[in-house]
Chains A and B, each alone.
Chain A
Amino acid sequence: MEQSIYRSHILICGGTGCVSSGCKEVRSSLEDELARHDLEDEIKVLETGCHGFCEKGPLIIVYPESVFYCELKPENMEKLVEEHILKGKIVEEFLYQEPVTNESVRSYKDIDFYKKQERNALANCGHIDPEEIEEYIATGGYQAIGKALTEMTPQEVIDEVKDSGLRGRGGGGFPAGLKWQFASEAEGDKKYVICNADEGDPGAFMDRSLLEGDPHRIIEGMVIAAYAIGADEGYVYVRAEYPLAIKRLRIAIEEAEEYGLLGDNLFGTDFNFDLHIKEGAGAFVCGEETALMASIEGKRGMPRPRPPFPAQKGLWGKPSNINNVETYANVPDVIQDGAETYKQVGTEGSTGTKVFALTGKINNTGLAEVPMGITMREIIYDIGGGINDGKEFKAVQIGGPSGGCLPEDKLDLTIDYDSLLEVGAMMGSGGLVVMDEDTCMVDVSRFFLDFTQSESCGKCTPCRVGTKQMLDILERITTGEGQEGDIELLEELAENIKSTSLCGLGQTAPNPVLSTLRYFRDEYEAHIYEQNCPAGACEELLGAYVIDGEACVGCTACTDACPVDAISGEAKEEHQIDEDACIACGACVEKCPVDAITQ
């Protein structure tokens, strides 16, 4: 193969995260340096998709040693090329440091963040050039579709997926094989497969990374589904906010067409399949399957009652199968390795792996693919490296606006679809937002209600009006206007909205409130009865700032920071804050070198 000509490969991440931290500039500087040393024919530079470790970007992995360099700048490239590439010496200062031990780690395989992961769906993300179909094929890609088309009947494909126990990764966790069975049995001269890449859950970005890093895997999964249910046309519905994912997918579809992996008579059979991209237009509710289909049809994206389910009457009234990006990403492995092998990972009721987006107040933010059944503690502490800035863990939010917040004593819960429901959360798309002692749980539930309230499509009253009422109450509480009876009223409204809304948006909108009431009721009570925000986050409940005279070193940093000149004091002497003038903006606190200012 062509690859063997090169002495070394340098993989540089070109995902959205790294682009924003400047990987393009790093790449061109790297190429300049290589050219300067006449190394272009010896060293190949490859641009990959997201490695899932965006916070540490721009990232480079140098093969064959698999040395991982992070947080690189263009001006670092001279040294990197001269030391590592020319002299074979690893450049310690660009290595990753473990947040807990402060040790530098050479190989990415030894970094805690990656070590405990099981990257199957994400196997290629960050390791191949997503714009080169050959690279996907070289990793065994498109073999599963060959196997399905030439060795298996559609029913055998469905049975394999059923046996694998694969459940939908888009939120609900419905068994994928069963859904395919329904679509396959539905009568219809025309059928569709749809990929849901609307990824609206704030805090989740695994679908984006999959599309940017390994788009052919999604295409392959969809072709297999199409063969299984008898569809000849498909759509990928991608958020408009993901321009790079759309671009990579477009290139991938063109390549697949050129290679005869999309189009007519695939693998010499009479099976045809065409795939199109539809760009979303900015509406969270379009992630709901019936709304999504209305949107593809060119209508307002409003959900409709089910049944009929999409498998019976979907896009343009035709039987349709809709799955999430990550669900399709699992399909090639199920077919290629077989259900038995697939089931080896995960738990009995939730097989395989799940990709979580770890964000919030945590040391290692990024994408972590782990076996189902792992504990939350392992994800947050072993992979995520614990809470940053030495703060205390308070809660982890899972499942986005439909999910819930779990407290410390639920950290040892093993994560799967069913265990999460039992504790009042849900898998959702797999966003994990970690919150520390400075996060106010009432504010968090206000935040989610604000989100669902503004995204409600307005079709049904409980969702449209009920969420507004809940939001009003939460706004009152966070501004110190809470009243006795508010908590009970919230609970009553929540139950009503849950049981009478038409679609999942309304049905799950109260979950963040219910789960915080369940685990953090005392915080609500403190806001209502004591006008106090224990986390110190709700600004209206906080008074003026004061300077601790003993600690103050008189550096005058705060005086300059204060926008309303509320701070007085001579240099090198104690400073004071005029309580009446202070607007409690907190600007001085951030500037104080000795943490002498508190509220």
Chain B
Amino acid sequence: MACSCGNAEENQEQYLAPLYDVLAGYECKEKDLIPVLQDAQEEYGYLPQDVLQEIAKGLGVPFSQVYGVVTFYSQFHLEPRGENIIRICMGTACHVRGGDKVLDKMKEELGVDDGETTEDLKFTLESVACIGACGLAPVIMVNDNTHGLLTPEKVPEVLDQYRD
């Protein structure tokens, strides 16, 4: 939000420029709220309050509605997130094939709990309900990549691929 370098306004302009680009691509009606939030999150990695306020203004919907929508859907995040998002499937097929063991190993390797981000902002760990690759259970998704038929032993190997 407010910064201390003396030209807050200019910085704010610069900070919000990508958002204005996003908004320019839409008719800016109520129905565009979710897609705009999705694009904004893609841009900023999460949804900072200033961004939400601008979106409310831009679409002409009350801030309370924007906030209500953001907190309703699990896809939206109000806090900064890791560079890589690890989604561990806790769906039925993965559950019966030991998905919880993969989650435990992942927690151990990263030193974070479900829903948390590592201190170096490299990884965010979250459990999800089903990725739709149940044939390969247990499954995880890192960013847009699916990794299937996992075992706790394979976890470090998968993580290494994203550690640069």
Does any Cβ of B come within 8 Å of A297's Cβ?
yes
CB distance from B90 to the nearest CB of A (A): 8
With A201-B130, A281-B38 known to touch, is A433 a contact of B96 (CB < 8 Å)? yes
In the complex, what residues of A have CB within 8 A of residue B107's CB?
none
A435 to B92, CA, bound (A): 10
- Given the interface contacts A283-B73, A300-B69, does A20 sit within 8 Å of B132 by beta carbon? no
Instruction: Looking at the assembled complex, report how far the CB atom of A445 sits from the nearest CB atom of chain B, in whole angstroms.
Output: 12
State whether A281 touches B73 (Cβ < 8 A): yes
Bound complex: CA A299 to CA B65 (Å) = 8
B32/A298 in contact, CB under 8 A: yes
A284 at the interface (CB under 8 A from B): yes
Counting chain A residues whose Cβ lies within 8 A of the other chain, the interface size class is 35 or more
B contacts with A: majority SS = mixed
A279 on interface, CB distance cutoff 8 Å: yes
B137 CB–A CB distance under 8 Å: yes
In the complex, the answer to whether B75 meets A200 with C-beta atoms within 8 Å is no
A297 adjacent to B95 (CB under 8 Å): no
- Tell me, yes or no, whether B6 is within 8 Å of chain A by CB: no
The answer to whether B74 has its CB under 8 Å from any CB of chain A is: yes
CA distance A435 to B95 in the complex (A): 11
From A32-40, A164-172, A357-365, A373-381, give the one contacting chain B: A357-365
A298 touching B69 in the complex, CB below 8 Å, given contacts A279-B38, A281-B76, A447-B92: yes
Complex alpha-carbon distance, A397 and B91, angstroms? 13
Of A180-188, A235-243, A342-350, the stretch lying at the interface with chain B is: A235-243
Distance of A500 Cα from B155 Cα, bound (Å): 44
Would B135 and A433 count as touching, CB distance under 8 A? no
In contact, B145 and A447 (Cβ under 8 angstroms): no
Given contacts A202-B92, A202-B93, contact A54 B75 (CB under 8 A): no
Cβ contacts under 8 Å, B134 to chain A: 202-205, 357, 359, 365, 431
A298-B34, A359-B92, A447-B92 given as contacts; is B73 within 8 A of A282 (CB)?
A: yes
A residues less than 8 Å from B128 (CB atoms): 241, 282
Most chain A C-beta atoms within 10 Å of own C-beta, residue among B61, B92, B95, B96? B92
Are A451 and B136 touching (Cβ within 8 A)? no
Among A19, A281, A299, A455, max chain B CB count under 10 A is at A281
Q: Within the complex, what minimum Cβ distance (angstroms) separates A30 from chain B?
A: 21
A457: chain B residues at CB < 8 Å are: 72
Interface residues of B in 51-80 (CB under 8 A from A): 61, 65, 68-69, 72-76
Q: How far is the CB of A241 from chain B (nearest CB, A)?
A: 6
Closest to A243 in B: B144
Distance from B144 Cβ to chain A, minimum over Cβ atoms (Å): 5
Nearest B residue to A439, CB-CB: B96
Q: Does A310 contact B (CB under 8 A)?
A: no
B135 close to A54 (CB less than 8 A): yes
Q: How far is A359 from B136 in the complex, measured between Cα atoms in Å?
A: 9
- Any A CB within 8 A of the CB of B33: yes
- Distance of A206 from chain B, by nearest CB (Å): 9
B57 to chain A, nearest CB (A): 15
List B contacts of A57 (CB < 8 A): 136
Contact with B along A27-61 (1 / 0, CB 8 A): 00000000000000000000000001111010000
Q: Which of A205, A296, A297 lies in contact with B132, CB distance below 8 A? A: A205
Contact A359 B32 (CB under 8 A): no
Given known A-B contacts A300-B69, A301-B72, A433-B93, A21 and B132 have beta carbons under 8 A apart: no
Q: Chain B: residues with CB nearer than 8 A to chain A? A: 29-35, 37-38, 61, 65, 68-69, 72-76, 87, 89-97, 128-137, 139, 141, 144-149
Interchain residue pairs A-B with the least CB separation, the first 7: A202-B91, A359-B93, A202-B130, A281-B73, A20-B146, A54-B135, A298-B33
